[in-house]
Structure 1
C-alpha cells in the first residue's frame, strides 16, 4: 500500500512538472565539410520551464537525409533560485553527420504547456536546414542567431515592444512570422512586425500566460544560387523561399497593472555599462570574456537577472542602494565554439516586474584582435577620430575603412583622420539606459590584388556617449532649465519651457520669481522652444496636462492638450515659427487642499514637411493604434515640465468708509438678491442633474478634477 502511494505521488509530481513548459527553440551552425562530401552540422536548442528545468526534447528526422547523431549533451544554463522560482532554461547540443548536403528538417513534439490563456497543450518545433553552398559566400548558409529568456513578464497596463534577436552572420534579411497551420498558437491581439521581428503588446491583453509559436527565416539580399554535391542547383530570391527556418516558441505572462510604467521606477531600467541592444562582442578560445549588466528600479527591489546563454557561463549578482543592482557574466569559449556566434539575452527581475529584454552576440575568433590607439572628439552632431600611425606598424589609409566604406578618410605624415555624423558612415546608435552612445569603427581590409598578406586584422572601435536626459537646475529653485536629448537621426537637441510676462512672449519670468504667484482667472503665458542644429525641424506639442505636484503620474490631473487637440476652452495658441509653441491659459487650481499647479508636456521634433510624421497629423481625436514611429523623420516623445504656479488670495478692500450707515440697506439688498439667486441656482442644478444622468457615469479622473475659477481660495 505504501509503495502504491509513493508511486502515485511520483506520477502526480511527474504530471505537474511536465505541464510547466514555457517555450523552446533551435538553431544550427555548419561545423565542416569533409572531402568525401560529409557534412558535420552543430545544433543548439533550448528548453524553457517555470520552477524546475526538464530535459524533454528528443529531436527526430522529419524529412530528408538527416544523418546520424555523433555527439549530444544537455544541461541547465540558468534558473531562478529564489522562492519565486519563475524560470529555468536548459541548453542542449547535438552534433550530426550527414552524407548529403540537400535540405532536411528536424522535429520535436511533446506536451504540455503551462496553464495558458490560449488553451494550448501540445507543442511542435520544426527546424529546416539547407546545406547547399552559396554563390555569394562560397560557404553553407549560416542561419540567424536567436535566443530568448525563459520568462517574459509584462504589466497589463503598460504598452511594450518585444524585440527579438535577429543577428544574421551572412548579412541576410531576417523575418519572423506565425506558422501556417490552424492549430498553431497565433495571437491577433498582439501585433507582429514580421520584417523587423518586433512584437507589440498594447496594454489591454487579458491577464495570464499567452503562448506563441513563431518561425524565424532568413532571405538573401540579392539573387543567389545554392550548389549541391550531386551537381544540382537551386535559386534563392529575396523574399521567396527562405534559406533556413528556425522554430521559436515562447510565452508572455501578462501581470497585474502597475502604478507606473516608466522604466527606472517600478520597472527596472538598464544603466551603463550594460551592453547595448544588438551589441557584438569578440572573444578568443580559452580566454574568458566578462561583461556587466546594471539596472535600477527606484521603487522596487531587483533580486536577480534572468539570462539566456551558453551552458558553462556563470553570473554573479550584486545589490546596491537606490534600487541599483548588477550582474557580472563570465564565459570561456572552448575549441568546439570556434567561429560560432553565441547569443546572450537578459532581463532584470523584481517580484512584480521585469525590465525590457536586451540581447547581444559574442563571436568566437581564433586569435586576439590587434587594436589601435585613437583620440576621439565628441561634438554636438559629429564624431572625429585621429589615429596615430606610429601606434600601428605599417598602417596606411588605403588599408582602413569605416563601417560604411563609401565614407572617406584623410591623412598626413603622422595621423589618419575621419569625421562622421550621428546618422552617416555606418554610425550606430546604442541606448544604454542612462546614455545614448553613437559608435563606429575603423577596420583593415586586404589588398585585393595581393596573393599573400603578413598584416594582422586591425579593428579600432570608437564611440561617443551623451547623457540621455540632461537637466540642469538653476541653484536651489523650482525653475527647470533646458531639457537636452540625443537621438541618432536628430543629433543633440533641447527644449526650453518657460512662463512669460505677457502675450508678446518676449520676456520670461525671472528664475528668482519661482514659484510664480498668480490669482485665479489671471492669464498665464507659456512658451516651449526647440533648439537644434538641423535646419529643417518642426516642434509638435502632443499633450500637456496639469497636476497638483511635480509627479506626472499623479492620478489627479487635468488635460490641457491631448493627442494634439486643445482640451481647455480658455487656451489661446499664438502663431509662431516651426520651433516655437506659445499659448496662454486662464489660471485655475485643483479643488481640495491644493495650492499649486505644475504643467507637463510631451513634445516631438519632426523633419519639416514630412507627410508621415506625427507633426503633420496634428490633432487626432481617435489616435491610430500601434502607430510605428519613423526614427528618420521624428524623434521619440520627450517629457518636459515647468512650475509650480502658486495661488494667492484675491485682494479685498479694508476701507472703513465701505461700512457704517449704508450697512443695513446693503444687507437688505444682498438678502433679497441672495434669495432670488438661490432659487435660480436650485432650478439650474435640477436641470443639470437630469442632463448628467444621461451622460456617461464614469469619466477619467483627469476630467473629474473640478477646477475652481472663482475669486476665492475655495
Structure 2
C-alpha cells in the first residue's frame, strides 16, 4: 500500500531478522537506506515471580504530521505482557543507542505516559525522533525503592513532518462511534478472522486516505470517502505464523492539510493448550467429527458446552463427547489461509448471563485445513497458468491525444461518458451520464488546452481479456514529488475527469478537462496502475473496483 501524506509518498516494508539480545548495528533497507538499531533485551529472571522477562511492545504509527504554530500531542501505544510499567525516553548517543543524539527543542516527552508533545515552534520539514522504551517492575507507591533499573530497552523510531499553516489551529478529523477505542485488545484464536471498521468525519476537506501500519497479511478493503465521511475495513486471519503474541495496528486519517488523532489497537494471539490425549478430529468432505475423552474435561460442565451455533448438538456419555460439525452449518466459518481453505468452529462453555460461577470454562478452537488440490475432492488438482501463458508478452503505455483524434477517435469525437465518480457514491459506477457534442479539436501553437484525452493502452490481443485501471496520478514533475489523484481504487476522484465509453476492452480512455485541473504548469506527467483480467468462465465479469463487485468463479 502506498500512501500520499506526508508528501511525496511512503509505504510499509516488513521483514524479520534474528539478532542477538544485546545488539547494536546498522541495518540496510534497500540499496541506499540504512538505520541504526540498538536493543538491550538480555534474558533476565524477574525478581517478583522467577519467570523470564518479556520486553515491552511499542506500536509503530504511520508517519506523524503536524502544522506550524499548532501544538499537538502524540500518545504512543505500549503494552507489556508481564504487566510491567513501560517508560519512554530519548535515545542517548553516549550509550550507543543512536548515532545522532540531537533532541529537537520543539519536542517534549512525558516519559511515564509515553506522550510526545510538539510545541508548534518548528520550521516546515521532516524530522526524526529516536526513543527507547523500557519496562520496569512495578513497585507500590509507598515503597522506598528509588533506583529501579529497567529490565530491557527496545528502540522506537518516529517520523514527524511539520507542514506550513497560516490559519487557525482547527480540530483534526475525529473518529466516529464504531471505530475501535484506543489501545483496545482484540483476541484471535487459531484461524479466526478479526475484523473491524474505522470511520472519520472531516469538516475541513475530504479524507484522502486512512493510513495503516499493521502486521503481515492485514487486509484493507472498501475504502470510501464520500463528502465529509470516510470509512475503511481491516481484517486479519490468524494462520500459522512466527509472529509475536501481541501485534499492533495503528491508523490515522489524512486530509490534504490535517491528520487525525493517532489510534492503535492490539491483536492478541491467545495460546492454546495441546489437545488432550485420546482426542480425535476427523476432517471429511462435508463435516468434521470431534471425539473428546470426558475424563480430560475435569470440572467442566458438559451441558454448558456448545458450538458456534447451538442448532448443532453436542452429545456425550460417561466416556466420550462427540460432535458432528457441518461445514455449511453449526456456525462453521470458512477462511482462506495461503493456498488452503480452512473451516473453523469453537467448542466453548456457554453460561446464562445471570449465572456467576468460579468453575473453569472451556474454549477449544477446531479447524480443518483443506489444501488447494482438494477443492472438489481428494484427487482434483488445481493449476494456474502463468501471466505470460495467459496474456502473452504484454506491454502497457500511455498516450495523449486531442479529443476526436488518436486511434479511438470514433469514440472520442462524439463521446459517451461513464459515471464512476468516487464523490457521487459507488452505486453510480455503470451509469451513462451524457453524450458530448462533436469535440474534434484543432489547435495552434500558443493556444491553451481545455480538454485532452488520456489513453491507457496495452498490446494484449487475447479474447475476453479486460483492462482494469486501479489508479492514476498526475504531477508537474517527473519524480511525482507532489501529485494529484485522477483515479483512486478505480473511481474518478473529481469532476475534471470523465471516462469515455469504448468497445475496446484492453484499453481505456479518460477525458481530462485540463483547464479545471490543479496542475498550473506547462508540463504534466501521468502514472497509472493497471492490470489485465480474464474470468474463469465466459459468463462472468472482471471485478469493478469502484463498486467493489465482481462476478467471477
The TM-score, its normalising length taken from structure 1, stands at: 0.36
The TM-score, its normalising length taken from structure 2, stands at: 0.46
Q: Whose RCO is larger (CA < 8 A, sep 6+)?
A: 2
